[in-house]
Amino acid sequence: MKKKNLNTVKGMRDFSYNDMIIREKMIDIIKRNFKSFGFLPIETPTLERYELLMEKYGDDADKLIYNFEDRAGRRLGMIYDLTVPLSRFVAQNYAKIKFPFKRYQIQRVYRYENPQKGRFREFYQCDIDTIGSNSPFGEAELLIVASKILIELGIKNFGIDINFRTFLDEYLTKTGIKNDREKELFLRAVDKLDKRGIDNVIGYLKENNFSMDPQKLIDDLKNYDSIPKKFDEIKKYYTRFFGEDNLKFNPLMARGLSYYTDTIFEIVLTGEDMGSIAGGGRYDNLVEDLLGVKLPSCGISLGFERIFEILKNKIENNSSYYDYMIINSNNPKEEMAVFKNLIEKGYTVFYYPDNVKYQNQFKFADAYNIKFAVIIGADEVKNNTITIKNLKTREQKTEKREV
């Protein structure tokens, strides 16, 4: 028989149970913090109308969106991020929502891009957004929540870069660039500075007939030292929770998606070659374009997969998924009673299904790093007791059985 190709699809991965224990702990911490700050959960479909996605992401996204025609001839796209689906959801449910509306969403998204370190074609995004408020508190709260999550995950070596699309637009206009196409060209190029390096960015701009000296423009922006007022307004709120050392105005940060209208930010690790681990900004026109109603909005997305790649290399996963294993001594009545009792108390329990030698069952428990074994042999049944063995220290004790 011909051997089948068992490789996963390019850019997509399996996760072992050890991986999933870490990932589930991450999601628990993320979700708890999202809820703590009052963000409400929603979920949207994996598929959206292709024209909706293309209208909002810009031309570059055409190469990155998985898209196809269904049997009815409708052009559909797999979601590229969670912001455009959110905007469609808000526009569709506008009459039912009380604003400001704060939502969180944790879902898989899909991008047809070249897989590399920390970058995949199927991945989780963990987003929070506030719809219907102009206050700089909105941006500050997003950064506070993200910082708190990272610290609880054990990541403390991070910085937050903040810039403003309004600042960039005004700056480029003052330098003589008034053409929207040229502005967008420059912003898309500068957004790739960290990935491609300055020589490639300058070469790209020249190839596309950029009208000014890109080297001088980039150098001037790099040395710009007048901080916009809104940066200080965001900092005023943020520093009530955390210090200001990790906040920085970065006039060269652009973020490539075309729907951003003002504040943009990225959280980057210091001392790690991983790029940004969170990013977002203000997008005041996205819902308005769909609904015709002005709804200022801002959001942040945590780079779940990049954070996971960092944590799985730092955490030695020697914790156990199981609290107890019930050893099978062929006394199902008593064993099932104890099994039921432990489950009802909230423990995670593995009941070994086969009556094999104890030695084999203990080897299994060691392989899964189980903490305690519960033994109900003939003596225990006779004396109405159970024996609990600590599989780390090999100590054991016998106590009265509750059930």
The Cα-based distances of 140 to 11, 18, 128, 146 in angstroms read 34, 35, 12, 10
Reported as a pLDDT band with limits 50, 70 and 90, residue 152 is very high
What pLDDT does 195 receive?
A: 76
Same fold, 17-314 and 324-400: no
Instruction: Record the tokens describing residue 240, joined without a space.
Output: 């009530």
Top-tier CATH class for 324-400: alpha beta
pLDDT in tens, 37-79: 999 999 999 999 998 888 766 666 678 899 999 999 999 999 9
Contact 369, 318 (CB under 8 A): yes
Task: Look up residue 289 and give its amino acid.
Answer: D
* pLDDT at position 315: 66
Q: Where are the beta strands (DSSP E) in 317-395?
A: 324-326, 349-351, 372-375, 385-390
- Between vectors from CA 305 to CA 302 and to CA 310, what angle results, nearest 5°? 100
pLDDT tens track for 192-232: 887 788 888 888 888 888 888 888 888 888 888 899 999 99
DSSP run (H or E) holding 157:
none
How far apart CA 319 and CA 211 sit, in angstroms, is 59
Q: Are 76 and 68 in contact (CB under 8 A)?
A: yes
| Region for residue 197 given its phi and psi (left: phi exceeds 0; alpha: psi -120 to 50; beta: otherwise) | left
* DSSP string covering 203-243: HHHHHTT-SS-HHHHHHHHHT-----HHHHHHHHHHTTTS-
**pLDDT tens sequence across 354-385:** 999 999 999 999 999 999 999 999 999 999 99
Ordered by start, the domain boundaries in the chain are: 17-314, 324-400
- For domain 17-314, the question of CATH label 3.30.930.10 is answered with yes
Question: For residues 343-375, b (16+ Cβ closer than 10 Å) or e, as one string?
Answer: eeeeeebbbbeeeeeeeebbeebeeeebbbbbb
Worst-scoring range by mean pLDDT, 22-26, 102-106, 271-275?
271-275
Lateral strand order in the sheet of 349-351: 349-351, 324-326, 372-375, 385-390, 396-400
pLDDT score of 396: 94
Amino acid, res. 178: K
Query: Which residues of 155-292 form beta strands (DSSP E)?
Result: 158-164, 247-249, 263-269, 276-282
Q: Check if the beta carbon of residue 238 is closer than 8 Å to that of residue 209.
A: no
